[in-house]
């Protein structure tokens, strides 16, 4: 059944409703894309179809995407279902071809966003064309690089931009394929409140079994939408087979999500009171940190006078383990205490050098 076309630009201007983007990692064949897209359109939950036409592969000689041949299929199924479609572009040639087939939106992949030259070439190719562009986070956890891509696109006159959080490469990413580092999209939001952020749980997770909990976490952190790779027969997928789910599984995942409101007048008062308490605690923390730093500097002077090394490894090991133990008793995770005191200790060392 043909539906009212979903208006992506309107959504970007007012991203209240949770946006769901789904479709295969790669468009592989007409049949695979049509079967998947028709099933996705049946549930009415998916608003935009995705499909990779050009695939950035880590090593050569794998499936590198169907290329231009797939674009008319996307156009055709989009017309049939009323779902707008989007694909990844990495070069000005991709942009030109995608526009020739009246693509509804584009996304720039994580590897491309990592390279300002490439982003600038795309921004130049798109200059004056107000098509919605979704920008994935760069592979490295660098908010400035991510923001820089938005700045380059805005300077080319693109006014409808969306961020896609897809996690970050990290040797300690397990159980994820790409470590979520939720604080990074939160920081992007703090620095530019006008950019809606959606979460690509497929590339964060890299496997099916943690998709549900990761989608819920993204919603709990007020994401504006989800991108989820969906394939009619994931086991046979030519790319990212381990992380794709069927349209049926997608429906169950979406049906099981608890969708929150970001604001509610009933809770505003209660929240305000608790936020005041948090603000007071933060003030106190800052004052305590300043006092601690002053003492560190005094210790530094004594060490210099007595020709002692700044780093005293035994002392550092003993304070860290005793703090971790104290934290545990108070219900604080070892990782939290470790991270915080590593930063504090580094500052203390810097002051003494
Ligand atoms: C993709 O969405 O299929 C893709 C290649 O994503 P990323 O750029 O996040 O790796
Ligand atoms: Mn993929």
Instruction: Give me the residue spans of the domains in the chain.
Output: 8-255, 268-352
Of the candidates 248, 251, 201, the one whose C-alpha atom is nearest the C-alpha of residue 223 is 201
Candidate from 142-151, 218-227, 304-313 with smallest mean pLDDT: 304-313
Q: How far is CA 18 from CA 38, 110, 115, 259, 266, in A?
A: 21, 23, 30, 8, 22
Which residues have CB atoms below 5 A from the ion given as ligand 2? 25, 240
Ligand 1 atom nearest residue 26's Cα: 3
Query: Closest residue (by CA) to atom 6 of ligand 1?
Result: 109
Cα 154 to middle of ligand 1, angstroms:
22
The two structure tokens encoding residue 333? 């995770």
Cα 109 to middle of ligand 1, angstroms:
5
Ligand nearest to the CA of 206: 2
CA dihedral sign of residues 303, 307, 308, 309: positive
Q: Would you say the CATH fold of 268-352 matches that of 8-255?
A: no
Cα 42 to middle of ligand 1, angstroms:
25
C-alpha torsion 229→232→237→241, nearest 10? 50
4 confidence band (pLDDT: 50, 70, 90): low
N residues, the chain: 353
Ligand 1 atom nearest residue 112's Cα: 8
Q: Indicate whether 77 pLDDT > 50.
A: yes
| pLDDT at 267 (0 to 100) | 77
Of the candidates 131, 8, 87, the one whose C-alpha atom is nearest the C-alpha of residue 123 is 131
The two structure tokens encoding residue 99? 């526009």
**Does the domain formed by 8-255 have CATH 1.10.3720.10?**
no
| pLDDT at 89 (0 to 100) | 98
1 confidence band (pLDDT: 50, 70, 90): very low
Ligand 1 atom nearest residue 56's Cα: 5
Fold exhibited by the domain 268-352: Chorismate Mutase Domain, subunit A (1.20.59)
Report DSSP state, residue 278: H
Cα 33 to middle of ligand 2, angstroms:
15
pLDDT digits (tens, 9 = 90+) for 228-265: 999 999 999 999 999 999 999 999 999 999 998 776 66
Task: Answer yes or no: are the C-beta atoms of 114 and 140 closer than 8 Å.
Answer: yes
271 confidence band (pLDDT: 50, 70, 90): confident
pLDDT digits (tens, 9 = 90+) for 164-184: 999 999 999 999 999 999 999
Ligand nearest to the CA of 57: 1
In whole angstroms, what is the distance from residue 56 CA to residue 63 CA? 9
Cα 203 to middle of ligand 1, angstroms:
7
Lookup result for tokens 């526009």:
99
Report pTM.
0.85
- Determine the average pLDDT of the residues in 114-118: 98
The answer to whether the CB of 109 is under 6 A from ligand 1 is yes
Report the percentage of the chain scoring pLDDT > 70.
98
- Determine the average pLDDT of the residues in 77-81: 95
| pLDDT at 312 (0 to 100) | 87
Of the candidates 241, 240, 216, 238, the one whose C-alpha atom is nearest the C-alpha of residue 226 is 216
């Amino acid at each position: 059944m043909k539906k009212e076309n979903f208006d992506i630009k309107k959504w970007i201007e007012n991203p209240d409703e949770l946006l769901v983007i789904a479709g295969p990692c790669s468009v592989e064949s007409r049949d695979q894309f049509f079967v998947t897209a028709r099933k996705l359109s049946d549930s009415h939950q998916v608003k935009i179809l995705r499909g990779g036409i050009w695939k950035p592969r880590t090593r050569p000689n794998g499936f590198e995407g169907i290329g231009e041949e797939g674009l008319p299929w996307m156009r055709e199924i989009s017309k049939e279902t009323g779902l707008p479609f989007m694909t990844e572009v990495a070069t000005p040639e991709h942009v030109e071809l995608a526009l020739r087939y009246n693509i509804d939106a584009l996304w720039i992949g994580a590897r491309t966003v990592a390279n300002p030259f490439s982003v600038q070439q795309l921004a130049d190719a798109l200059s004056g064309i107000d098509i919605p562009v979704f920008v994935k986070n760069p592979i490295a956890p660098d908010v400035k690089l991510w923001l820089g891509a938005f700045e380059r696109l805005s300077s080319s006159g693109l006014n409808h931009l969306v961020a896609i959080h897809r996690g970050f490469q990290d040797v300690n990413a397990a159980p994820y394929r790409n470590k979520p580092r939720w604080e990074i999209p939160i920081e992007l939001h703090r620095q530019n409140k006008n950019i809606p952020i959606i979460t690509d749980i497929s590339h964060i997770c890299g496997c099916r079994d943690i998709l549900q909990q990761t989608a819920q976490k993204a919603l709990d952190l007020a994401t504006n939408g989800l991108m989820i790779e969906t394939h009619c027969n994931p086991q046979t997928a030519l790319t990212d087979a381990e992380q794709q789910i069927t349209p049926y599984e997608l429906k169950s995942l979406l049906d099981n999500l608890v969708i929150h409101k970001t604001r509610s007048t009933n809770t505003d008062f209660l929240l305000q009171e608790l936020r005041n308490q948090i603000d007071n605690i933060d003030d106190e923390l800052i004052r305590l940190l300043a006092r601690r730093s002053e003492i560190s500097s005094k210790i530094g002077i004594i060490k210099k006078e007595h020709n002692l090394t700044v780093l005293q490894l035994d002392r550092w090991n003993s304070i860290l383990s005793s703090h971790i133990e104290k934290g545990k008793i108070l219900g604080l995770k070892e990782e939290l205490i470790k991270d915080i005191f590593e930063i504090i200790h580094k500052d203390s060392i810097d002051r003494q050098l």
